[in-house]
Structure 1
């Protein structure tokens, strides 16, 4: 995975009912799900057309007792998992699962930034296949961090992944929304979380062709809307939702 350092390359849903979740996301996003065939573990692969985009698995035993809800996890490619995890820890982050190997797939670590937002580091054992266009249907078009503190969060990620500042939008009382870029391409935004949000988190926006139809599919499948549809700069439309098992996700589309 040369030349990928700092790029989001995989997304994983850990949930309580994988069969129900598979049915839900196949309907809402348009993915197709298939068993990964990994020995000793049930792992579902979500694909958009012929490109694998995300994975699905049952939450680890004891997670709910620890008040850890179902959630999406983003994997960021790095040149060296061990070295990046060490740098992250030295810069104030925490390594929650030490670097480990997935046989035949790659090496990973589960980490948090200094304020507690969870993500993963990853380096594959082979070159990654050609990626989908960023806004292709079924891909993840945007990555958003509700940060503990934007002023310190951005330098942390910039140092770790080489992300650069793009546009900054004044959100009034909500503060600044800082768009960030990877290799010159805007891939997400971050802002200081509202006080009523209990902890920082990453949110992932799945591309759909039309927002209203996807919202209806989400509602029909038992999902809930937590932030009503809104138009964002550039003419796209977004909505934030919770799936039937309680995981937060978002949708983005070029039209209603």
Structure 2
């Protein structure tokens, strides 16, 4: 019997930062892990204006799949930032809405405990259409209106699976730029938030939604954004 092929999904989360040693100490204290790795932010990225950030990699398969995805991303309005085709088993893009994302041929499973993925963008409909076409992700038919926090459209990596994230509109919110934000599961949100502040990070929240789910949006001392959430609250977000 031939098993069904799963659509591509996020499989690696790497921090690209200006101070690897300080970032490692911060995340060891806050999360008790370092995601799937911490790398220095390349000088060319800094020259383009890039800030430290968590970079999510979508696993797309081997055998030329990464190079194929370079062509497909560019056809849908993205900018290929590197490496050149045929050089590495990954590629980094600025998607059509301006968010940075990567694809990879590395099949290793993530140990980052990321349980929710949020794409902030000026054009949620275009973003949903692009990611659906590129990866086969399944988007909810209707949006959720969270007032001051914008309108959100949830998605699953595959039809029939639980929602794993959302595309969020940022129109009218000039303080928010297009980006992917990854929420790490923590045993206690309040304790994790206290650790962020103690280690000189910044925190927005905790924010409580109408369904009882609580999240916090944070920045580490170098300026990389990340989210925190308790695992059971990620389930509440998936259920609406």
Task: Indicate the TM-score class for this superposition, using the shorter chain for normalisation.
Answer: 0.7 to 0.9
Deviations 1:142-163 (A, max 9, x none): 1100012012111011100111
The alignment partner of 1:89 has SS state of helix
The alignment partner of 2:43 has SS state of coil
The alignment partner of 1:27 has SS state of helix
The alignment partner of 1:85 has SS state of helix
Describe how 1:218-233 pairs up with structure 2 within 5 A: 218-225=196-203, 227-232=204-209
Q: In structure 1, how many angstroms separate the alpha carbons of the residues matched to 2:24 and 2:150?
A: 36
The alignment partner of 1:120 has SS state of strand
Deviations 1:104-152 (A, max 9, x none): xxx110012112111001112xx535x66xxxxx500111000120121
Alpha carbons of 1:71 and 1:19: their partners in 2 closer, same or farther (altered >3 Å)?
same
Match of 2:36 among 54, 58, 65: 54
TM-score (norm 1): 0.79
Match of 1:68 among 50, 53, 59: 50
> Which residue in the other structure is 1:197 paired with?
175
Q: Kindly indicate whether residue 71 of structure 2 is the aligned counterpart of residue 118 of structure 1.
A: no
Q: In structure 2, how many angstroms separate the alpha carbons of the residues matched to 1:100 and 1:205?
A: 32
Contact 1:209 1:255 (C-alpha < 8 Å) held by counterparts: no
Contact 1:222 1:244 (C-alpha < 8 Å) held by counterparts: yes
The alignment partner of 1:246 has SS state of coil
Q: Kindly indicate whether residue 85 of structure 2 is the aligned counterpart of residue 99 of structure 1.
A: yes
Q: In proportion to residue count, which structure has more strand?
A: 1
Contact 1:5 1:77 (C-alpha < 8 Å) held by counterparts: no
Alpha carbons of 1:128 and 1:65: their partners in 2 closer, same or farther (altered >3 Å)?
closer
Match of 1:149 among 109, 119, 123: 123
Contact 2:67 2:86 (C-alpha < 8 Å) held by counterparts: no
Q: Kindly indicate whether residue 163 of structure 2 is the aligned counterpart of residue 161 of structure 1.
A: no
Q: In proportion to residue count, which structure has more helix?
A: 2
Contact 1:140 1:205 (C-alpha < 8 Å) held by counterparts: yes
Moved over 4 A (4+): none
Describe how 1:1-256 pairs up with structure 2 within 5 A: 3-31=5-33, 46=34, 53-79=35-61, 80-97=65-82, 98-102=84-88, 107-124=89-106, 127-129=107-109, 139-166=113-140, 168-172=143-147, 175-183=150-158, 184-195=161-172, 196-197=174-175, 199-225=177-203, 227-232=204-209, 235-254=212-231
Q: CA deviation at 1:5?
A: 3.8
Tell me the number of residue pairs that the alignment of Structure 1 and Structure 2 aligns: 222
> Which residue in the other structure is 1:36 paired with?
none
Alpha carbons of 1:171 and 1:164: their partners in 2 closer, same or farther (altered >3 Å)?
same
